[in-house]
């Protein structure tokens, strides 16, 4: 189908005459631009039962911050399943604040607690810092499950774009390590490989928001030493994708990454994995977090919440 009216209008705004392109911005400008987009077009922040700012200690003595959401209707002392969420933004931009509304929506709609993680960003902290932080968030959540009020056997990993990449990479590392495993992966147009020659990379390389220049801007800052073939950057380069948790992968039709997402889903299925792949028609990369603007975002949150309830054994009515 053609672009939806909302997608067309957003692209017209993004590519208006005289406006700087994303890849022409400094890192500080790019971060401000990303925040402005989300604050302008995300939905209204719904109330939740509680939020808590959570520091997670690293081995070097520094702390990674995260925000814990407990869904509306959850009871004090109730043990909940947990979604650990890694925000998108090309490993370079975005934070807990930019994805606050989405995490509130996912918590309320799914009945799960959500832990949104402020992992380290490039270029200050290039690869593999983001992946190291993602693994730390999972291990810490398992160890501190009683404090968080969550069930360590019912943890999902999820994220959009770069955050989806971190979810897959963390699941692969945990598979190799053994021990407690995530029960489910929620992947929103994830980056599955850095270098790709699939047709959508060319078909949507200019004028569709996540253009070629923007991808190259992200990759150059996240991978300054060119680690494009490392599976921790490109999980499609992993020797095997077997043995991963069940997954829901939601892609966007007009996204340069859509063919990579489809190829990843096909390979998981061919290697015996359980994956549902859904391509949302007429929309662009980034739609999922812009719920004020895209009705498809609101529908996507409900679809994701149904999958979380199913795979994490949440009671049928999370608001009851």
User: Which residues have a catalytic role annotated?
Assistant: 161, 255, 285
Please, are residues 287 and 259 in contact by the beta-carbon 8 Å criterion?
no
The residues, any chain, with a CB within 8 Å of residue 305's CB and separated by 6 or more, are 106, 109, 110, 111
Q: Which secondary-structure segment (H or E) carries 134? A: helix 129-143
Rounded distance, CA 296 to CA 303, Å? 10
φ/ψ of 160, rounded to 5, equals: -110, 135
DSSP 3-24: PPHHHHHHHHHHT-TTPPPGGG
φ/ψ of 86, rounded to 5, equals: -115, 120
Rounded distance, CA 287 to CA 6, Å? 10
């Amino acid at each position: 189908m053609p672009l939806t009216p909302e997608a067309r209008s957003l692209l017209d705004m993004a590519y208006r005459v005289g406006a700087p392109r994303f890849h022409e911005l400094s890192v500080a400008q790019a971060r401000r631009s990303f925040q402005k987009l989300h604050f302008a077009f995300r939905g209204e922040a719904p109330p939740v039962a509680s939020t808590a700012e959570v520091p997670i200690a690293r081995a070097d003595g520094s702390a990674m911050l995260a925000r814990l959401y407990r869904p509306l209707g959850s009871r004090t002392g109730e043990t909940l399943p947990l979604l650990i969420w890694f925000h998108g933004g090309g490993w370079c931009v975005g934070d807990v604040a930019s994805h606050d509304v989405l995490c509130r929506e996912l918590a309320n709609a799914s009945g799960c607690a959500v832990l949104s993680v402020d992992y380290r960003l490039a270029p200050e902290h290039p690869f593999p810092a983001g992946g190291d932080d993602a693994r730390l968030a999972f291990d810490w959540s398992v160890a501190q499950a009683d404090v968080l009020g969550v069930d360590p056997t019912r943890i999902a990993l999820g994220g959009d774009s770069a955050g989806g990449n971190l979810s897959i990479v963390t699941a692969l590392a945990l598979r190799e390590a053994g021990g407690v495993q995530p029960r489910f992966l929620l992947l929103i147009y994830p980056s599955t490989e850095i270098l790709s020659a699939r047709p959508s990379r060319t078909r949507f390389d200019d004028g569709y928001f996540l253009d070629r220049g923007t991808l190259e801007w992200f990759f150059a800052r996240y991978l300054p030493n060119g680690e494009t073939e490392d599976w921790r950057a490109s999980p499609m380069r992993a020797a095997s994708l077997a043995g991963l948790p069940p997954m829901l992968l939601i892609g966007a039709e007009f996204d340069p990454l859509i063919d990579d997402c489809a190829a990843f889903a096909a390979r998981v299925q061919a290697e015996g994995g359980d994956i549902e792949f859904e391509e949302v028609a007429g929309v662009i990369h980034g739609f999922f977090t812009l719920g004020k603007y895209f009705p498809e975002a609101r529908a996507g949150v409900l679809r994701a919440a149904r999958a979380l309830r199913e795979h994490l054994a949440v009671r049928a009515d999370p608001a009851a």
